[in-house]
């Protein structure tokens, strides 16, 4: 299937709007604020009028400040909007206007939300991971990208593996190392990416997490107890695997497994 630039461009623009919604989800869900309320400044709660609610541009025009109270608004807001546009455009570019695009884009959006909530609060809310896992499994029945059985196995294998690691850590060290949030997040990842993708996500996420973790310990000298948001690394790995899973596997196979 060929996809023209118009479709990819349109996807990018719509994705910017989805990105605005992702910002609302990231900010509100952990605080228990309704998503139905109109968006406003977190400090003065002035509602943002439609003319000022244009993704990215509004932030640039207002130079990152609230129009009424002058409170500075993090550069993360326009960046998440750009991410929303970029991920949808990439999905359309790779899979065209298909159910696979719906599935992959939704997966990536869930990963963005979980990654940033984990950074902010060190939690991965059940209200996102559990329904997400169910939706992923449901989509696998229509999405030729992943077999439903692989999705089912993926959820339980991904979640089960992390559950085992969490259990083993607790047994060995006598305290909790990894939260159940990570376990439920892998349930979601596996249901979207299948068991192959789930294993790859854990592998890549752990690898990147370890490298960053060691680097942060070296810089900050906070020691091994410094808790990194593991969900954030799983999320980044999940997005990478969603787009480039087979290529990563082929590269790994040709580099490490097929020699000699
Ligand atoms: Zn304000």
- Residue 62: the pLDDT is 86
Q: Are 197 and 190 in contact (CB under 8 A)?
A: yes
Distance (Å) from CA 34 to ligand 1 centroid:
19
4/1: higher pLDDT: 4
Between vectors from CA 171 to CA 166 and to CA 176, what angle results, nearest 5°?
Answer: 45
Distance (Å) from CA 117 to ligand 1 centroid:
22
- Residue 136: the pLDDT is 98
pLDDT surpasses 90 at 150: yes
Using a pLDDT cut of 90, give the percent of the chain over it: 63
Mean pLDDT of 191-202: 96
Mean pLDDT of 51-63: 82
Distance (Å) from CA 23 to ligand 1 centroid:
16
- Residue 50: the pLDDT is 55
- Residue 201: the pLDDT is 97
Contacts of 212 by beta carbon, 8 Å cutoff, 6+ apart: 228, 233
Distance (Å) from CA 68 to ligand 1 centroid:
5
Q: Which tokens in the block code for residue 87? A: 């991920």
- Residue 4: the pLDDT is 86
- Residue 52: the pLDDT is 66
Q: Which tokens in the block code for residue 27? A: 């900010």
Specify burial of residue 232 (Cβ count, 10 A radius: 0-12, 13-18, 19+).
buried
Mean pLDDT of 124-152: 97
pLDDT surpasses 70 at 181: yes
Give CA separation, 124 vs 80, 102, 161, 204, in Å. 18, 23, 17, 19
Contacts of 179 by beta carbon, 8 Å cutoff, 6+ apart: 123, 124, 166
Distance (Å) from CA 140 to ligand 1 centroid:
43
Distance (Å) from CA 242 to ligand 1 centroid:
38
Q: Are 118 and 232 in contact (CB under 8 A)?
A: yes
Q: Tell me how crowded residue 205 is: count the other CB atoms within 10 A of its CB.
A: 24
Q: Which tokens in the block code for residue 157? A: 């294998």
CA distance 51 to 188: 37
Q: What is the pLDDT of residues 61-71, one digit of tens each?
A: 888 888 888 88
Q: What is the pLDDT of residues 211-251, one digit of tens each?
A: 888 888 888 766 655 578 899 999 999 999 999 988 888 88
pLDDT surpasses 60 at 99: yes
Mean pLDDT of 94-106: 96
Domain ranges of the chain: 1-97, 123-260
Distance (Å) from CA 112 to ligand 1 centroid:
25
Distance (Å) from CA 53 to ligand 1 centroid:
14
Please choose, from the candidates 130, 120, 107, 105, the residue with its C-alpha nearest in 3D space to the C-alpha of residue 28. 120
Distance (Å) from CA 238 to ligand 1 centroid:
35
pLDDT surpasses 70 at 132: yes
Q: Are 11 and 104 in contact (CB under 8 A)?
A: no
Distance (Å) from CA 16 to ligand 1 centroid:
22
Distance (Å) from CA 179 to ligand 1 centroid:
35
Distance (Å) from CA 65 to ligand 1 centroid:
8
pLDDT surpasses 60 at 17: yes
pLDDT surpasses 90 at 73: no
pLDDT surpasses 90 at 253: no
């Amino acid at each position: 299937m060929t996809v023209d630039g118009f479709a990819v461009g349109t996807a990018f623009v719509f994705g910017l709007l989805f990105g605005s919604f992702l910002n609302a989800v990231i900010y509100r869900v952990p605080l228990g604020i309704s998503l139905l309320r109109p968006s406003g400044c977190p400090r003065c709660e002035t509602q943002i009028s439609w003319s000022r609610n244009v993704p990215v541009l509004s932030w640039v025009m207002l130079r990152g400040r609230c129009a009424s109270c002058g409170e500075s608004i993090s550069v993360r807001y326009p960046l998440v909007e750009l991410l929303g546009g970029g991920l949808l455009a990439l999905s359309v570019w790779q899979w065209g206007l298909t159910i696979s695009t719906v599935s992959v884009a939704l997966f990536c959006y869930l990963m963005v939300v979980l990654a940033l909530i984990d950074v902010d609060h060190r939690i991965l809310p059940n209200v996102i991971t559990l329904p997400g896992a169910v939706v992923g499994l449901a989509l696998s029945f229509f999405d030729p990208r992943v077999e439903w059985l692989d999705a089912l196995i993926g959820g339980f294998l991904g979640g089960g593996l992390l559950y085992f690691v969490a259990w083993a850590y607790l047994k060995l060290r006598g305290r909790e190392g990894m939260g159940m949030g990570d376990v439920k997040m892998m349930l979601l990842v596996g249901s979207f990416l299948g068991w192959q993708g789930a294993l790859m996500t854990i592998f890549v996420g752990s690898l990147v997490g370890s490298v960053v973790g060691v680097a942060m310990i070296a810089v900050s000298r906070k020691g091994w107890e410094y808790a990194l948001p593991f969900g954030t690394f799983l999320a980044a790995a999940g997005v990478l695997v969603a787009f480039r899973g087979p290529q990563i596997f082929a590269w790994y196979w040709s580099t490490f497994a097929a020699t000699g």
